[in-house]
Amino acid sequence: MAFVIGVDVGGTFTDAVLDDDAGTVLAAKSPSTPPDYSRGVLDVLELLAEQLGISLPDMLAGTHHIAHGTTSSLNALVTGDVPPVGFLTTKGHRDSIFIMNVEGRYLGRAPHELQNVLGQAKDHALLPKRHALEVTERIDRDGTVVAPLDEDQARAAIRSLLDEGIRAIAVSLLPWHRLSAAARRRRIHPRLHNSAAEHARRYDCAARQDSERADHDARGGFVFAPDRHPAGIFSDRVQSRRYVGTSQT
């Protein structure tokens, strides 16, 4: 029997739903467990396993996909309750994350605020510029490598971020170069925590605007920081319980 599980981690409760290829649908709810939200996720998965009449490892062994909701992480982003995150990008693209699209000027604003152009200001950036570093690499529109990744430069950038106390780094290379970013980053620094820059590569970002792409990758770094989101801790814990399927956040 193949299972698919969806989990939404909220500030108060963690909800989960399971279905299988026979059409069975089960739901469970458990209190969230901040600051380690992964405990609440495991608790709610235990409740699903109990409804199935099997152990949690057996349920996870038969699960081929788990989708995580990010309500708690959205709350953390809005309130600023996130750890420092580094940002590594292609040389010449660092300022993409600090550029505001025009929507940032008017979304959520009242008409009198929109008319007060001189009174408008850009909100603070997701991260300070000292935590956004560049590396030399370039790929053209056809996917041909014009300039290979300078791994020595990347190592130096990563070390400087680690020296600043950074524990998660979002890698936001040009679209066609990202497919091998995870392997190269493990080679550059094998102990570096994986941010969402790889997890989110499930879909094609090539058509996104550069600022939107950079913003997406940086927010992913906050979400997957080791001490912030259950996905940062949870993946290791479920893998130790026989889960070998895919996950999406």
pLDDT tens column, 170-193? 888 865 444 444 545 555 555 444
Average pLDDT over residues 220-241: 60
Total residue count of the chain as it appears in this document: 249
Q: Which of these ranges, 61-65, 188-192, 193-197, has the smallest mean pLDDT? A: 193-197
What confidence tens digit (pLDDT) does each residue in 67-105 have? 877 777 777 777 877 888 899 889 998 888 887 666 766
- Cα–Cα distance, 178 to 181 (Å, whole number): 5
Q: Is the predicted pLDDT of residue 202 greater than 50, yes or no?
A: no
The first and second tokens of residue 102, run together, are: 């025009």
Which CATH code for domain 3-76+229-248? 3.30.420.40
Average pLDDT over residues 37-45: 88
Question: From its phi and psi, is residue 23 left (phi > 0), alpha (psi between -120 and 50) or beta?
Answer: left
Q: Which of these ranges, 81-85, 115-119, 189-193, 231-235, has the smallest mean pLDDT? A: 189-193
Segments making up each domain of the chain, as ranges: 3-76+229-248, 83-223
Whole-prediction pTM: 0.66
The first and second tokens of residue 198, run together, are: 């790889």
